[in-house]
Amino acid sequence: MEVQDAPPKKGVTIQKPEIKKPTSGSGPGKNHIYVREAEGRVETTRRVLGFVLMALFVVLPWLTWNGEQAVLLNILDQRFRIFGMTLWPQDLTILAWIFMVSAFALFLITTLFGRVWCGFTCPQTTWTFIFMWFERKIEGSRHQRMKLDERAMDADKFVRKFAKHGVWIIIAWLTAMTFVGYFTDIRALFQNFFVFEASAWAFGSVLFFTFATYGNAGWMREVMCTHMCPYARFQAAMFDKDTYIVAYDEARGEPRGPRKRKSDPRTQGLGDCIDCNLCVQVCPTGIDIRNGLQYECINCGACIDACDSVMDKMGYPKKLISFTTQRRLEGGETKVFRFKSVGYGLALLVLTLLLVADIVLRVPLEFDVIRDRASLYRENQEGWIENVYTLRVINKSQQAQRYTFSVDGVEDMQWYGPQELLLDPESSEIVPVTIAIDPYFIDAPIKEITFTIQSIDEASIKRNVRTNFIYQ
């Protein structure tokens, strides 16, 4: 996809470029983008960050904690294990805080630094660049790939295409296996997958995510960013004149045009841009940054490296294309602290504190008391009044726990049923009990009593539940 040059405009504008006869694209076809390899400080930063995030993604599901998989999001059993902490459906508030903290962190970063998430840390971008790296190693440079696609199918072209797609499928499969390994025992998954002993959902999920990764990173690429990702559509609402973006300095670069290396562009009435078009060739979404900021721009900075290398060769100052702000391009000073950024920052701080408080104050025990509603009460042989209760206990910790039960709120009572319970880690138990009270101590038809469960092993693990004792 090649973009027509637009007349120079002052400032930064958001527009969709006009498309003419395409010369680049992401898969065979007339809209295929042949991305040129970029080298430079921005690309190095992106590669290092991508490598770190990829390493975390691959390593995390293989780590163990107390002999168990450290990170296991077991949806089928409705429990998430995260480094010693097990979250159950009753802990949805913690998950809600995590999602809100992540959202406001993204809002704050976008307000300050634009779409750096898209360009440096988004999985779609990371995997796309990985696929493109292998594509270059197998099929050659941008020019060689274009020539290869123009050729009729021969043995060399078949081998290269077969090797490329084979590598893509292997990477996609490894990605899918690792991703599914976050939701099931990853060691068992790798052992059982090829002998067809993995569960149906695990096997189907691996095939689905293999296909999705292969399709997204290998074929769709920029289509995901420009047409399917909603972030590109609403991120403009978080931009202002002080947001850092990848931008072209029109005042310095225009009018653009070719020239000899040792010639003085000022005598020719030219700016610093030599119109080499490298900034377009290295762009993974195929836009021309010189036309102004466009929603397709993912702030990857590839055009910065390409332009800096040309400026070096020409002996011109760098940063004709750079991470900058509209206010700076207009001659002003960038304001980091402004209403929008401060507001997002305060919201992020409050939500983070609430998340930390919820985790710190969390008791790894769930205790419910359900009174038998089949019969309100009954009188035993001794004349005492009985109520039947069901105690539901969930041990949300990753260690076995011993618990004791007690009841308060009456002076004299009898307990029928177990008063101690040994519960395995991440398990639940239902305990039926009967409470009998001497009618002499019952001064109302409905009397409030309190059940207490206490861990014998850890004094801090304790729960109280209030319920009613009925006699009428």
User: pLDDT, tens digit, for every residue of 201-218?
Assistant: 999 999 999 999 999 999
6 pLDDT exceeds 60?
A: no
The torsion defined by the Cα of 119, 125, 131 and 136, in degrees rounded to 10, comes to -20
For 462, the enclosing helix (H) or strand (E) is strand 462-470
Tokens of 364: 């790894």
294 pLDDT exceeds 60?
A: yes
Answer yes or no: are the C-beta atoms of 371 and 388 closer than 8 Å. Answer: yes
Extended strands (E) in 344-439: 365-371, 378-379, 385-395, 401-408, 413-416, 420-423, 427-437
pLDDT tier at 27, thresholds 50, 70, 90: very low
Q: For the residues 341-348, what does the mean pLDDT come to?
A: 95
Tokens of 201: 């959902």
State the sign of the Cα–Cα–Cα–Cα dihedral 118, 127, 151, 36: positive
Answer yes or no: are the C-beta atoms of 115 and 299 closer than 8 Å. Answer: yes
Chain centre distance of CA 153: 41
Question: How far apart, in whole angstroms, are the C-alpha atoms of residue 194 and residue 442?
Answer: 67
Residue 286's nearest CA partner among 56, 37, 2 is 2
Task: Write the Ramachandran bin of 33: left for phi over 0, alpha for psi from -120 to 50, otherwise beta.
Answer: beta
Task: State residue 150's pLDDT score.
Answer: 93
Neighbours of 99 (CB within 10 A): 11
Task: State residue 12's pLDDT score.
Answer: 40
Residue matched to tokens 């296991």? 72
Answer yes or no: are the C-beta atoms of 314 and 132 closer than 8 Å. Answer: no
Task: State residue 172's pLDDT score.
Answer: 97
Task: State residue 28's pLDDT score.
Answer: 44
Q: For the residues 39-43, what does the mean pLDDT come to?
A: 93
For 380, the 3-state DSSP assignment is coil
14 pLDDT exceeds 80?
A: no
Neighbours of 447 (CB within 10 A): 17
Task: State residue 68's pLDDT score.
Answer: 87
Question: How far apart, in whole angstroms, are the C-alpha atoms of residue 117 and residue 109?
Answer: 8
Task: State residue 31's pLDDT score.
Answer: 67
24 pLDDT exceeds 60?
A: no
Domains (range + CATH), the chain: 41-87+122-220 (no CATH), 365-470 (2.60.40.10)
Q: For the residues 169-177, what does the mean pLDDT come to?
A: 97
Q: For the residues 5-28, what does the mean pLDDT come to?
A: 40
Question: How far apart, in whole angstroms, are the C-alpha atoms of residue 106 and residue 205?
Answer: 28
Residue 297's nearest CA partner among 219, 222, 218 is 222
125 pLDDT exceeds 60?
A: yes
* DSSP 8-class letter at 229: -
For 265, the 3-state DSSP assignment is coil
pLDDT tier at 471, thresholds 50, 70, 90: confident
Q: For the residues 391-404, what does the mean pLDDT come to?
A: 91
Phi, psi for 230 (deg, rounded to 5): -70, -20
The residues, any chain, with a CB within 8 Å of residue 146's CB and separated by 6 or more, are 23, 34
